[in-house]
Amino acid sequence: MTTGSHDPLGAARAAYDRKVQSSKTRDDVREFTSLSGEPLEVLYDPTNSPAGSTYVDRLGYPGEYPYTRGVHPNLYRGKLWTMRQFAGFGTAKDTNARYHFLLEHGQTGLSVAFDFPTLMGYDSDHARSRGEVGRCGVAISSLADMETLFAGIPLDKVSTSMTINGPAAILWAFYIAAAEKQGVPATQLRGTIQNDILKEFQAQHAWLVPLEHGLRIVVDTMEYGAKHVPQWNTVSISGYHIREAGSTAAQELAFTLANGFEYVERGMARGMDVDEFAPRLSFFWDVHLDFFEEIAKFRAARRIWAKRLKERYGAKDARSLLVRCHAQTAGVSLTAQQPENNIVRVAYQAMAAVLGGTQSLHTNSMDETLALPTEKAVKIALRTQQVLAYETEVPHVVDPLGGSYYVEAITDKLEREAEDYFSRIAERGGTTKATQDGWIQREIHRSSTAYQKAVEDGRKTIVGINRFVEDEENIDIPVLKIDPEVDRVASENLARLRKQRDGARVRKALDAVRGAAKDGSNLMPHFVEAARSYATLGEIADVLRNEFGAVKEPAF
């Protein structure tokens, strides 16, 4: 847009800019940037925002293509987001008690945190599990553990999210079998397995088998879910761990959506119509502290996904075009110093997620940098969501920031940056190749290093870390301690299970898993039968490791 006598709006902006220049203070001299390091304009209006006065024409309305403004026309007026607190520690019995506590205090969905041995596909009595059982999540080694985990919780009445990736299909099989034990058919189950193996190789590194074989198992779950568990989200395409590893918002957006496109293409290559499985793909976003950038990220994600699914992959079902998502406040933003400050950080992040239009939300607890959260800390985190939902009036208006010059400018910028990344990924042979070569990992690492340097140089302020530091830190809050007997109890339970189960049935089920691994048939029905036989997680995973080989991490 030009600025001159024939452009009153441009002339007014030029006059404003002159006033800014004449009133600059010392702080105005320095460059202001977003959390991702992007320069920020002093003002956004029609002269520097593509939104201008025609944003309604460009953006559409909530619940309408391209869904920039939200996936539902009435959003939280129709139904509040699901308050789904991530929880898991110690034994299945310990965590079951925490679930009942959370449900009694108003939580509306369950989210399972597994311990590290479970995430890596090892039983609790494996040598590699020693000292880690139940420490960072709940230990689940068999159907028996899954039955205990959900004892007294009707699985046809709750929605359950399970944050697990490498062995996700096996844990899902345990859940399906546990529901059968309750008399609940798979068709009535609602929930999500994260099951995002590309993200694991890019950021978190909790894998089971080499990437190509892992991708095959992901597609097996997509195919099985479409036929047998139609209300289940079989992949939760996760930007959360990409962001926690140090990416920028644009990288989180781009790499997450690129992973989603890869799953779509793999599903179609299997012979499925895109509309058979795409409606059950969901997303999982990090919500960091750059308030407006995080809101814009949700908006850009919805628009990019809808356009790509419609225009490139030919989706006709409107549900295939929707970015249905869970969000979690940024664990990496929490500090061990002055931990009560984390309550404030989480509250702002939660509001950004809601203004961005999430369908489900987890709020981190203030003590999570010190240990697994206590009941009090978890209750405060849940109450944060409830205050937001019932006291702030924020949910009463759909997309209240839509049309903001600043928000629309960031949304457009994030979309452009994501599209640039898609082109660069394509030049490198696609998402899988760019992951196997370590290119995506290097991009994340570069951003992580730049951010850390900005903190260390004082260019980014972290309250209590590099400014407003207290001379003597007095962390006087209770910390959850895991019973050191958890290892022994879990091992004894497994020994008892192996004596009581039908050994011949277990061997037959494991042989069937081995056969499917060899012949390329869908593994999920065999995982479910192995679960029913009380084969353990480690036994099933060992079959896959033996057939598919070890993981070799790319150098980056």
Mean pLDDT of 501-508: 98
Q: Does any domain span residue 503? A: no
Between 97-106, 275-284, 431-440, the lowest mean confidence (pLDDT) is in 97-106
Mean pLDDT of 340-365: 97
Report the C-alpha gap between 488 and 494 in whole angstroms.
Answer: 10
Total domain count, the chain: 1
Residues in the chain: 556
Residue 465 located in a structural domain: no
- pLDDT of 8 strictly over 80: no
- DSSP state string for 488-554: HHHHHHHHHHHHHS-HHHHHHHHHHHHHHHHH---SHHHHHHHHHTT--HHHHHHHHHHHH----PP
Task: State yes or no: pLDDT of 276 exceeds 60.
Answer: yes
Question: Is residue 345 included in any domain, yes or no?
Answer: yes
Confidence grade of residue 532 (pLDDT, cut at 50, 70, 90): very high
Whether 500 shows a pLDDT value over 70: the answer reads yes
Does residue 192 fall inside a structural domain?
A: yes
Percent of the chain scored above 70 by pLDDT? 95
Query: Band of the pLDDT at 107, cuts 50, 70, 90?
Result: confident
Domain assignment of residue 508, yes or no:
no
Q: Report the chain's mean pLDDT, rounded to a whole number.
A: 92
**C-alpha–C-alpha distance, residues 141 and 134, integer Å:** 11
Q: Which domain, by its residues, includes 69?
A: 56-391+399-456
- Mean pLDDT value across residues 99-106: 90
pLDDT of residue 9: 65
Is 404 within a domain? yes
| Radius of gyration over every alpha carbon of the chain, rounded to an integer in angstroms | 24
Give me the residue label for tokens 């068709």: 187
> Bridge-partner residues for 192, per DSSP?
161, 233
Q: What is the DSSP letter of 163?
A: E
Structure tokens at 281: 């793909």
Return the pLDDT at 481: 82
The pLDDT assigned to 26 comes to 65
Span 116-132, pLDDT tens digits: 999 999 999 999 999 99
SS3 for 426-488 is HHCCCHHHHHHCCHHHHHHHHHHHHHHHHHHCCCCCCECCCECCCCCCCCCCCCCCCCCCHHH
pLDDT(52) > 70 = no
Q: What is the four-CA torsion angle of 216, 220, 226, 227, rounded to 10 degrees?
A: 150
Task: Determine the Cα angle at 402 with ends 396 and 404, to 5°.
Answer: 125
- Give me 324's structure tokens: 């249905």
The neighbour count for residue 247, using CB atoms within 10 Å, is 28
Mean pLDDT of 405-434: 96
Supply the CATH number for residue 206's domain.
3.20.20.240
Q: Is residue 226 part of a domain?
A: yes
The pLDDT score that the predictor gives to residue 29 is 61
Residue 506 located in a structural domain: no
